[in-house]
Amino acid sequence: MHVLAADTALVFGRYARQTLRSRFQMLFGILMPLLYLVFFGPLLRDLPLAADASSWQVLVPGLLMMLGLFSASFAGFGIIVEKNLGVLDRMRATPVSRLALLLGRVLRDALLLLFQAVLLVVAAVAMGLRAPLPGVLIGLVFVALLSTAMASLSYAFALRVRTPQEFGPVVNAVTLPSMLLSGLMLPMALAPGWLDALSRAVPYRYVVDAVRAAFTGEYAGTEMLWGALVAAAFAAGAVTLGTRVFRGAGA
């Protein structure tokens, strides 16, 4: 375990330094949620979206989940480039644990998305968001879990394809319906019955509902329970799958 932790820290350090050298990478991922916040949020200000909740308490949790969903889903692009250039094979030839090669990357992605999520919350507060600090912190925990899960799945899939042209369309085909059906923009309670029922098959919905509950100070309701269970199970399953694929690829 000590060796795995040391190897993970080594790999994390390598990719963290790459990220710190690229301010464009650090800030670009937050662009789409920030645009939604600035241009879409004011349209919802006077709409009764949820009882005892402002439009910002409905929209901002969805934007946090959008950040984790989209940014982490495309994390695999980098490993495709490394694989095609032979960088990944050279890293496998070192004594570093193969599991650490995955975990170090995922840890970098999760921390980067947490940084971007904090910037998004600060911008939302400046625009009118009022949410309890414990609820905001719980939301950030959900961002970390979702980004860990999506980055792990992204790397696992990236190791199974040869080119970015194969990777991108598949990721888009998964993330876009997930965004629409999870109620990121508007609560699915506003949807017709058939659409609301269909959305319950999408795990992101439960996470979004849990973060919205946290932003209104509801920490002990069923939304929080289901969101925590789904997020934890999703993250654990994704990391397990990613680990198996990463160990087996190129073996």
Instruction: Determine the longest span between alpha carbons in the chain, in angstroms.
Output: 59
Q: Looking at residue 136, what is its pLDDT? A: 94
DSSP tag of 89: H
pLDDT at residue 46 in the model? 63
What local confidence, expressed as pLDDT, does residue 3 receive? 73
46-68 pLDDT per residue, tens: 665 555 557 888 889 988 998 88
Q: What is the pLDDT of residue 224?
A: 94
Cβ neighbour number for residue 155 with a 10 Å cutoff: 26
pTM: 0.86
Residue ranges of the chain whose pLDDT lies below 50: 251
How high is the pLDDT of residue 50? 55
Q: Which residue has the tokens 């309890």?
A: 132
pLDDT, residue 162, reads: 83
